[in-house]
Structure 1
Amino acid sequence: MHIFYITKEWRTGSLKWTIALCYPPNLQRPILHEWHLERLADLGRVLHTEWSDPEQARRALYEADAAITSWGTPRLDEEWLCHCPRLKVVAHAAGTVKGLVSAALWERGIRVSSANGPLGEGVAETALGMTIASLKNMWRIDRAARAGGWTEERRLARELYQITVGVIGAGKAGTHYMKLLRPFRVKVLVYDPFVSRQRLAELGATRTELDELIRQSDVVSIHAPLLPSTRNMLDRGRLMAMKDDAIIINTARAPIIDEEALIEQLSLGRLFACLDVTSSEPLAADHPLRSLPNCALTCHIAGAVSNGGYRLGQFAVEELERFKRGMKMEGEVEREQMEILA
């Protein structure tokens, strides 16, 4: 059934908005707080669709002028959109819209926004934390300290100072990661063929080719989308070209790294890896990455977890407010962008 949260009406002339919340109410992470719902009520009637009952969901969408989607929302293809004659805008309170949108939205003139930006902020913050923790050798120091050790592991700790950090991918997460690195005295190299040298210079970074970045960097942080051109981008040859004691951080997509080749290099003790994403989640009990002491695993927490979901909900509400005022939405996704988006 439909759950009507708040029923203030918003009118411009004779126009009244209905805003459908089109995601499962039992998400693992919260999306909208009570104060978000109150802000939405200033725009119109707010209702939550019941996706377990497709017929009721279709009736709800029939009334909707705007929709907030998230993880668990079915793909908005022609079959669904034929039930949405009034729909004007979709604000996706999650990251990528690739599994959500279809060409039918743009063909109908429906605008689309993604919260990939605020989601990327959480990813970048996680990557920075991994950068500092792995340079400090915290994971191995923790194990050593628990076993009674002290000096041996402690001497391997390094600072985020006068080193080279390589950033692969200058999208939302990669760009925010570079901004977070600004207070530190480090050299930042970036590989992203879609971003200009001038834009990267504004972020305090230098654009370079991937192989040069791999050779020079003490830390390599991956923020690229998974595309045919980025699958196994870090293959055996590039992993072998990395500096001894270099750190590789992956908060993006697992297949960007050749996992078998990574295991080989980690087994040699040359590198340290922080992996938020892996080929299977969770990894099998006997998977080699589970037992390697120079690999930290963090169970896909880099994006929005627990209260971090409110950041996405807040953005979605603000996007609808911008749309209502006739302003450009900050996270608007154009049809032409789909081929290069994560």
Structure 2
Amino acid sequence: MINIVFLAGNSTLKRIFHDQHMEQLKQLGNVKLHNYDRPLTTEQLAEQLTNADIAITSWGCQELTGELLAHAPNLKGVLHAAGTVKGVVTPELWAKGIRVSSGAEALGLGVAETALGLTIASLKDMWRLSQYTREGGWGRTDRVTELYGIKVGVVGAGNAGRHYMKLMRNFEVERLLFDPMVTEEQAAAIGATKVSFQQLLTQSDVISIHAPALPETYRMFNDDAFGLMKDDCILINTARGSIIDEAALVQHLRRGRLFACLDVTDPEPPAVDHPFRALPNVVLLPHIAGSVNNGLYRLGAFTIADLRRLLNEETMRGEVTAAQLNTIA
């Protein structure tokens, strides 16, 4: 049987793989456990990798350098039970023919569902109405908008962006997509209209950001971009904080022009006196859009399913190639 090793700390792994998952893994191979709760040191990683065929990584793992990989000459795959693999992979992995999988798709489902919830709650003006009624008021529904007959703009058609658009197909809204990597035909296939960034800014009633953190996306939402957006546009960011110029956004929020739902900031967390914490037209969340608590088990199930595909010599759903590193989150 194959040798399966865990390279993340047990405190992380227990949140992702429950007892049923562990039994499934034991049916697929010999599972090598360890007693380390915190991220493993280089020496501990080397010990774990000895004679490994499959390595399961997650948050807190360090790069799998050539020196570490030398301890696992039979390694066939690295399955990352987390999102981005950029902190784990090295060119040596692909040079040795080792296949890599990411759990970004599983995390993307939670991100999209969170973005949908923020979309509905914000359009309905639930945040402000809840505060108003708590203070003794009632009514004031003039700012309530239904998720109907409006334009919803999506920036980025990765895992989360695609699932968000899939969820939006349940509503009678027009879906606009900005993603330079997607053709008009591909956009149409997922139920969206491909537009330029400027068109998305000027036409959308809601804008949901699902782009990766790349040099090309750094501060792409800046003062000029905010100036093009409709008054009362709802901006949702469940992607990366670096995509938004926060100082510029604060200025537009102070003018009351926009409403923002931010699950990510740059840096995280924001300072205790940051305007995002006090402005009435901001919903600030502590980076919960992906998978939290019981939702993390979806990540474990996804990782096991990809392991089965790898063992069957099939393409993994979360397969990552060296060529994709420059375009993924």
- State whether residues 168 and 174 of structure 1, in contact with CA within 8 Å, keep that contact through their aligned partners in structure 2: yes
What displacement does 1:196 show?
Answer: 1.5
- State whether residues 18 and 297 of structure 2, in contact with CA within 8 Å, keep that contact through their aligned partners in structure 1: yes
**Partner of 2:265 in structure 1?**
278
What displacement does 1:28 show?
Answer: 8.8
What displacement does 1:281 show?
Answer: 2.1
Equivalent of residue 3 in structure 2, options 6, 11, 18: 18
Counterpart Cα distance in 1 of 2:281 and 2:45: 48
What displacement does 1:223 show?
Answer: 0.2
Secondary structure in structure 2 of the residue aligned to 1:165: strand
Equivalent of residue 237 in structure 2, options 250, 268, 273: 250
Equivalent of residue 59 in structure 1, options 33, 37, 47: 47
Q: Which runs of 5+ in 2 are unaligned?
A: none
Counterpart Cα distance in 2 of 1:98 and 1:308: 23
Between 170-179 and 23-32, report the one with greater CA deviation.
Answer: 23-32
**Partner of 1:326 in structure 2?**
313
**Partner of 1:48 in structure 2?**
33
- State whether residues 7 and 48 of structure 2, in contact with CA within 8 Å, keep that contact through their aligned partners in structure 1: no
**Partner of 1:13 in structure 2?**
none
**Partner of 2:281 in structure 1?**
294
**Partner of 1:10 in structure 2?**
none
What displacement does 1:53 show?
Answer: 5.4
**Partner of 1:72 in structure 2?**
60
1:16-63 CA-partner distances (Å, limit 9, x unpaired)? 211001111112971101111111111111122445454343122012
Q: 1:28 to 1:42 in 2, by over 3 A?
A: closer
Counterpart Cα distance in 1 of 2:57 and 2:292: 17
Counterpart Cα distance in 2 of 1:292 and 1:76: 43
Secondary structure in structure 2 of the residue aligned to 1:249: strand
**Partner of 1:224 in structure 2?**
211
Counterpart Cα distance in 1 of 2:42 and 2:191: 50
- State whether residues 190 and 205 of structure 1, in contact with CA within 8 Å, keep that contact through their aligned partners in structure 2: yes
1:127-178 CA-partner distances (Å, limit 9, x unpaired)? 00000000011111111110011123x2211110000000000010000000
Equivalent of residue 160 in structure 1, options 124, 133, 147: 147
Aligned-partner residue type, residue 77 of structure 1: T
- State whether residues 66 and 89 of structure 1, in contact with CA within 8 Å, keep that contact through their aligned partners in structure 2: yes
**Partner of 1:337 in structure 2?**
324
Aligned-partner residue type, residue 64 of structure 2: L
- State whether residues 62 and 86 of structure 1, in contact with CA within 8 Å, keep that contact through their aligned partners in structure 2: no
Secondary structure in structure 2 of the residue aligned to 1:75: coil
What displacement does 1:286 show?
Answer: 1.1
Equivalent of residue 133 in structure 1, options 108, 118, 121: 121
Counterpart Cα distance in 2 of 1:72 and 1:27: 8
Secondary structure in structure 2 of the residue aligned to 1:119: helix
Counterpart Cα distance in 1 of 2:158 and 2:40: 35
1:74-97 CA-partner distances (Å, limit 9, x unpaired)? 111222212221211011111110
Report the TM-score, using the length of structure 2 for normalisation: 0.96
Aligned-partner residue type, residue 19 of structure 1: I
Secondary structure in structure 2 of the residue aligned to 1:97: coil
Report the TM-score, using the length of structure 1 for normalisation: 0.93
Q: 1:52 to 1:207 in 2, by over 3 A?
A: closer
**Partner of 2:100 in structure 1?**
112
- State whether residues 22 and 48 of structure 1, in contact with CA within 8 Å, keep that contact through their aligned partners in structure 2: no
1:179 partnered with 2:166 = yes
Counterpart Cα distance in 2 of 1:308 and 1:202: 28
Q: Which runs of 5+ in 1 are unaligned?
A: 1-15
Counterpart Cα distance in 2 of 1:24 and 1:233: 36
- State whether residues 117 and 172 of structure 1, in contact with CA within 8 Å, keep that contact through their aligned partners in structure 2: yes
1:284-322 CA-partner distances (Å, limit 9, x unpaired)? 221111110000011100011111111111111111111
**Partner of 1:5 in structure 2?**
none
**Partner of 1:6 in structure 2?**
none
Secondary structure in structure 1 of the residue aligned to 2:199: helix
- State whether residues 152 and 205 of structure 2, in contact with CA within 8 Å, keep that contact through their aligned partners in structure 1: yes
- State whether residues 224 and 252 of structure 1, in contact with CA within 8 Å, keep that contact through their aligned partners in structure 2: yes
Aligned-partner residue type, residue 28 of structure 2: L
Counterpart Cα distance in 1 of 2:252 and 2:76: 51
Q: What is the CA RMSD across the aligned residues, in angstroms?
A: 1.3
Q: 1:52 to 1:28 in 2, by over 3 A?
A: closer
Q: 1:29 to 1:197 in 2, by over 3 A?
A: farther
Aligned length: 326
Secondary structure in structure 2 of the residue aligned to 1:174: helix
